[in-house]
Structure 1
Amino acid sequence: MSLRKIKDTLMKQTIFGIAAFNIIIVFSIFFFVFTNGLKFFYEGSVVDFFLGRTWIPLSDLYGFLPLLAGSFWVSVIALGISVPLSLFAAVYISEYAGRRTREIFKILIETMAALPSVVLGYIGLYVFSGSIRDFFGLNSGLTALNGGILLALMAIPTMVSIADDALVALDKSYKEASLAMGANKLETIVKVLLPAAFPGIFAGIMLGFGRIIGETMTVLMVTGNAPILDSGPLTAVRTLTATIAAEMGEVTIGDKHYYSLFTIGIVLFAISFLTNTIADYFIHRSRKMS
């Protein structure tokens, strides 16, 4: 065997080993979380956990619904802000902006993605919270709305980048045929380009949602951390991720409260897996269409 083939074989085996090691790590993490999460149900009821309306660990009350409600409100607000803004930004960058302007916008978007979540948390804590409190006449600005606005800022870079790539990757014949039929540029974008790029755009939205649902530090700082079921956009909430971050450092290893946090982790794993699976499907669909 030649030296070149030996090097190729060695490199191939090395890459395979690294990839296999990464897969083993992921499955090990999942196994650790899953096994510890299931131990909660040795003492607690599945129905009481998933349909429980109160989360007070000190009173041995582990109701999942208030935490789910908190994550729901924050996610809905974030998606409601980020999706339209990202769509408009992607359309402008791909169809209207000049080459130089496009490069500047891409740099700004990448800079937004690089901002640490704790920095955004401080902005929400000391800037947005006061404005929200004064504008709506609230006692505190630490609400689901505050968290949703910041999470929207965190999700926008992902959504814009993928939506822009989906629009740019379309065959030029889509636009040329539409314009040749007498449609103006806006009609071409709305009725031809956006529907054709929908799989890629939707994939970006799902990946942005994954960033929203999985964020911890920002929502821990700006949402008030109140596990209340009857919550809303202008009330304090507590999300699934914030609950784990806030309470994991204070629990006794091996008790019921400890295992309940791992059960929340299983739910987050399931949501993340479903989100990424859907996004991966639409990304592959987009590549086939382009």
Structure 2
Amino acid sequence: MTLVYEETAPRSADRRVHENSARVLLPQTLVQTRRILLKWARDLTTVIMVTALPVLFLITLNIVLGHAISQITGHSALYGTVPMNALAAAINGSAVGAIGLIGERDDGLLRRLWVVPVHRASGICSRIAAEIVRTMITTVVVVAAGMILGFRFQQGVLATLAWLAVPVLFGLAFATLITTIAWYASRNFLLEAITLVHLLAVLFSTGFLPLDQFPKWVRPVVAHQPISYAIDAMRGLSLGGPVRGPMIATLLWVGGITAVCIAPTLRGYRQASTRR
């Protein structure tokens, strides 16, 4: 019996995996991603904001302004309003995720997860994965509603896939930005700031009207803000028109926002997880 114990004990110890081993990162990330998605799915407010509101807003725009915009642009207004609603839904969903993260911080869940034997990176990775899934679902819902109204992809399969990828990248960048603000601001301030910025960004974008329909003094702002670049790229990918310039500008905005916010976001996450 003694010999068996001496031989098997080191082997069982060798089979143990360190909590921060790369081998456990993926399965633990999947578990935490599932937890986040289930939490969102069980929250009626989140479901409405992520799915119902973008569709209702799209339908309202098409009824009230669709004909007028089509007369001005010469093509269906849906090629601007569908991308605009997909991007707006990505931003709103990011706000929902950030508010939920604030709740987990205040309830002490982040502190409890920090001290249990799980990979430290799985918390951040699961947030990213959950944001990707949420944005993809929202985008598909908005596109489905748009196609019922008459929206079509006319530039082939690759252009369609690129179109669908833009809201995901956009949503991840703004999720990083909003999460950064969430670590250092109150919940009420976060909601008010996001609502104001979101409203102004949507109204002063090329999703409603072409650039030449805006007053001259505001055209530089409309032309160079990130939502306008993303809408122009998505319009080109679906209807036809310039794609390279708007897409490069969109990627620069996404990369710039992420680069600026990633360090303070990680620092804020660590502080929230380790504070007493």
TM-score, length-scaled by structure 1:
0.35
TM-score, length-scaled by structure 2:
0.36
